[in-house]
Structure 1
Amino acid sequence: MNKEFHFLDDGGEMGKLMREKDWSLTPLGAPEGWPQSLRTTVNIILNSPFPMFLFWGDTLKGFYNDAYRPILGVDGKHPKILGLNGAEAWAEIWKDIYPMLSVVTKKGESIWRENLMIPIYRNGRMEDVYWTFSYSPVKDDDGNVSGVLVIVTDTTEAVLAERRLRESERRFRDIANLSPMWIWITDADINVEYANNELLNFIGLSHYSEFEGQVWKSIVHPDDIELVFEGFGKAIEKQERMSLEYRVKNATTNEYEWYKIVAVPKFENGDLKGFLGTGMNIEQQKSFEETLKNEVNHRTKELANSNLKLEAMNKELQSFAYISSHDLQEPLRKIQMFAEVLMDKEYDKLSTSGKEKFVKIQSAANRMQSLINDLLSYSRTDTEKRVFEVIDLKELVADIKNDLGEELKKKHGKITLLKSCELEVVPFQFRQLIYNLLSNSIKYSRADVPPVITIKTEVIKKAKSIDPILSNTKEYVQITITDNGIGFEDQFSEKIFEVFQRLHSKQEYVGTGIGLAIVKKIVQNHAGIISATGELYKGSVFTIVLPKKQ
């Protein structure tokens, strides 16, 4: 290469294009004939890491470097504008840039523009682009302006980002000012940089710029001021989230109201820059808490008094149980004993009316004996010590069938257990439960229809679907006892489990009306449920669901 061409050495892609271009076909002529000022300037821009463009000569022909090349995009002006007249190269914006170029070429003055939007054709379309640039004169050896050096930066992304940020801040402030909550921003020293209208109106300020100095001291309740300083101090020290509840003076009413303040730290490059906070009025909540506290205290005192009364009643109940099991039963046994003696030895001497009366006396005494025994059983169901053991239902049913053998034989009845299982129960209570149910099925059988009683068992794993009080985390056993007896109307399905509730007169069926109440209480003691369904003169079904293991 001719030594005259050394100023085009290097320069990357643009240096290569300039070296390969046949400049002899242009008005500039071959590079060896270029003026020294042009050579020097071209050498400078080719080796500069900053985007540069050179307008040269009367027609402002264009030169640019590799750093400027990305500005032109793809499918645009590159590379045809290299060495092209300015008016032709930048036809679409020439009316915008030529007046600025003229200031430099005619007056020799430099100009500077920041974030100026000038469209450019690139990437196959016109694009709105923001530029920060300077136009500087390039003078020849005689001091005349021969060209304009452009140092430029495409600031479109920065401008749009700033615009988006401003729009985001505007939306944030609009939303914040519509919020019924306090919203505020501070710097790292808790100086307020922003406060929304709700907060400013509450404390009586017109603009957040007034929120400075000792404002906090004048609006926070004196008893809470130390709490506030300690809370903010700890949040700054540990650079962590803060939550406080304290009272703040309402500028309108001059009364203090409770607020809950939550603040989260904001960081920039790992450094604490301040806090973003909210405040919610909790005056009603605090008032409710105070009312609730007073109510709880009042109810606690009432409960304590009730407990004392309950203890006294329990003592009375224990006394009643003792009387029932000893003092009441002793004279009753004597009545029964003397009635039996009279029936054995004096029965024949009685008139027909007297005989009937003695039979009624004996029957009434027997009923009273049953009633006392059932009442004692019912009262002991909750108080007796519960020791759970695993039992086999088959063995228990066999034992009860043996006890009910005479009744079954008399009525030609049958009890069938279709499938046995093991479960954890209080043995003597559970025996009483099954005994009462089977005994009732025999007792309430239809005349001249042999009682047929069927017991089925099933393991249940999703028991909550049966009743919400049961758990899906336990296995349950469902025991179903079905009979063909007199049944009952479904409207009585709950009533039959209540104490002293009878669906039939004592003349029809013997009983005290406590048996099924005892059954229900035993089921509850085992954390289970019991239900009954019936159809009059067709039979009844009792369903028990108990945990397989307690």
Structure 2
Amino acid sequence: MKSDLASNSSEKAIQQQEEISRQLLSSLPAAVYTTDAEGYITSFNKAAATLWGREPETGKDRWCGFLKTYRMDGSPLPPEASPMAIALKEKRPVHGEQIIIERPDGVRRHVRPFPTPVFDGEGRMIGAVNMLIDFTQTAEVHHRNEALIRSEEQYHKMIEEVEDYAILLMDREGIILNWNRGAEKIKGYREEEIVGKHFRTFYRPDDREKGLPELLIARAISEGKATHEGWRIRKDGTAFWGSIVITALHDRENNIIGFSKVTRDLTEKKNAEDRITQYANELEAQNRELQQFAYAAAHDMKEPLRKVLFYTSAILEKLQGQLPDREMNYLKLAAEASRRMQGLIDDLLVYTKSASSAAVFEEVDLAAVTEELKAFYQDTIDRTGAVIQGGPLPVIWAIPFQVRQLLENLFGNALKYCRHDRTPVIQISYGQVARDAVRELAASEYDLFHRITVKDNGIGFEPGYAEKIFEMFERLHGRDNYPGTGIGLALCRKIVQNHKGWIKAEGHPGEGAEFFIYLPVINAG
């Protein structure tokens, strides 16, 4: 009886001890599990299930049956080479190892396993207990830090090796703190010669007197960045054209702790731009001289030509019927040639005058100009029965006499090249378009353009001549049927170019022509 009581008491004590062990195991924050001697899991706590991403079946799942293991470099770790397998095989604790486990859901964790064999009273191994310390977050931080260190090293190496840019750091006062290879190449100083000196060293005396270095620092402080281009001085005293960017550097509290300064040597570009500017100025001067000569020459030719035409006409009038037909025809041809030459000279004078873009911009009422041109061409309108139609037309900012000449030429062409089998109709319309809507205006400095359209129903032209008709002296039709000098549309293009705009034409034989004029929208004043 006493023996049964003692046995029951002993079993109860064992059960209590197992319950305490189970609760202790469950309460541990670290993942802990136990296995039998064959590696089958016999118990585990909640932290282990969380780490694994699933709850294994005790007595059925082995410790390695649902996990993939890897070494710290990411290479696969065979189950038989893992710390737990070694502990069971060699019957000894295995500590100090680090591995990566991959859960069934693909998530990987970095762990430190501490497998320890368990022996019974007779020294036989009956299983093992393993604690897994999850240090994934610490490992990730460590890897990020290592990557950051490598990145910083690469960055500093890159800055140091760059040769096309002088890159340096300065303190709040503008004192140079470091020096790269590009700075030595561009400015001529070695690092030990310049570090510790003020960056005003690179500026010309007149710029230092004006306080330019300090002004750039002040601008970088107030605006975050300062840019400038100008002449700088090398160690040997030679000058180079430098493009610089000074950027303010801040700490976490947004306090300025210094500045970065990047300099690029643009001397070759500056010299090339100066040469281009010089060539452009010389070309402009030559063009002005040529325009003045052409104007003077054309003007001086008018008087002798006028006399030729006057005397030829007088002879024709006085000797009408007295000269043989052949001689009379010669005189008529001479008079007609003189009149054509006079018209050509007049058009050249107008073209020379319009070739200048220095004229003053003023308000131009397109509706008023259209009415003026109707009156100007009234005789032709009455003779042909032409109709000029138009919607509302605005007041634009342009060169008045040039805009009138532009529309006069287009209206004149529409009346000249009309078809005789139908009533001539000229339509003028207006709208506005954005720069991006017209491919030829993509490089313009203006965003918005007036679009003036002049359309007729005349004889038209082949689409292949849409560009050619704007060339000087270009004619698509003979003088016998359509008189003219071939300057009118060239003058139109020149006028539009003076306004920094674009003109184009579309046409089809027998259907008519349409001209699109794009002039920039410019605010008055």
TM-score (norm. length: structure 1): 0.54
Question: What is the rounded CA distance, in whole Å, between the counterparts of 1:163 and 1:232 in structure 2?
Answer: 44
C-alpha contact (below 8 Å) 1:495/1:501 kept by paired residues: yes
- Counting only pairs closer than 5 Å after superposition, residues 436-515 of structure 1 correspond to structure 2 as 436-446=409-419, 448-469=420-441, 473-474=447-448, 476-485=450-459, 487-515=460-488
Number of the residue aligned with 1:223: 189
1:183 aligns with 2:154: yes
Is 1:372 equivalent to 2:372 in the alignment? Answer: no
| Residue aligning to 1:321 | 295
What secondary structure sits across from 1:476 in the alignment? strand
1:545 aligns with 2:499: no
Query: How far has the Cα of 1:506 moved from its partner?
Result: 2.1
* Residue 271 of structure 2: aligned partner: 297
- 3-state SS of paired residue (1:156): strand
Cα displacement (A) at 1:157 = 3.2
Matched, 1:430 2:403: yes
8 Å contact kept, 1:475–1:547: yes
Distance in 2 (CA, whole Å) between partners of 1:451 and 1:219 is 75
Q: Does 1:336 align with 2:295?
A: no
Offset at residue 371 of structure 1 (A): 0.8
- 1:463–1:476 contact (8 Å) kept in structure 2: no
Q: Give the residue type in structure 1 aligned to 2:370.
A: V
Report the number of matched residues: 381
User: Match of 1:333, SS?
Assistant: helix
User: How far, CA to CA, are the matches of 1:70 and 1:520 in structure 2?
Assistant: 86
Q: Unaligned regions of 5+ residues in structure 1, if any?
A: 1-21, 31-55, 79-90, 102-111, 120-126, 135-152, 186-194, 200-215, 242-263, 271-281
The 3 A distance-change label for structure 1 pair 387 and 450 is same
Give the secondary structure class of the aligned counterpart of 2:395: strand
Q: Is the 8 A contact 2:110 2:134 kept in 1?
A: no
Q: Partner residue of 2:133?
A: 156
Distance 1:68 1:156 in 2: 15
Change (3 A) 1:480 1:340: closer
Tell me how far 1:502 sits from its aligned partner. Answer: 0.9
Distance 2:250 2:421 in 1: 86
Correspondence 1:250-399 to 2 at 5 A: 292-293=268-269, 297=271, 300-301=274-275, 304=278, 307-308=281-282, 310-325=284-299, 327-383=300-356, 385-393=359-367, 395-399=368-372
Matched residue SS, 1:183? helix
Give, in angstroms, the shift of residue 519 of structure 1. Answer: 1.2
Q: TM-score, normalised by structure 2?
A: 0.56
Mapped partners of 2:32, 2:365: distance in 1: 88
What do the CA deviations read for 1:399-439 (whole angstroms, capped 9, x no partner)?
212221222233x2312314122131333222211111111
Unaligned regions of 5+ residues in structure 2, if any? 1-7, 34-42, 47-61, 64-83, 102-108, 117-129, 162-178, 200-220, 226-247, 254-262
Cα distance in 2 for residues equivalent to 1:387 and 1:218: 53
1:265 Cα offset (Å): 10
* Cα distance in 1, alignment partners of residues 111 and 276 from structure 2: 79
Instruction: Work out whether residues 414 and 426 of structure 2, in 8 Å CA contact, stay in contact via their aligned partners in 1.
Output: no
* Contact 1:423–1:477 (CA under 8 A) maintained in structure 2: no
Query: Share of identical aligned residues, percent?
Result: 22
Q: Can you list the C-alpha shifts for 1:43-78, whole angstroms capped at 9, x where unaligned?
A: xxxxxxxxxxxxx9xx9x859879964346899459
Q: Is the 8 A contact 2:32 2:131 kept in 1?
A: no
2:389 — aligned with what?
Answer: 417
Change over 3 Å in CA distance of 1:227–1:374 after alignment to 2:
farther
Q: Find the aligned partners of 1:489 and 1:162 in 2 and give their Cα distance.
A: 78
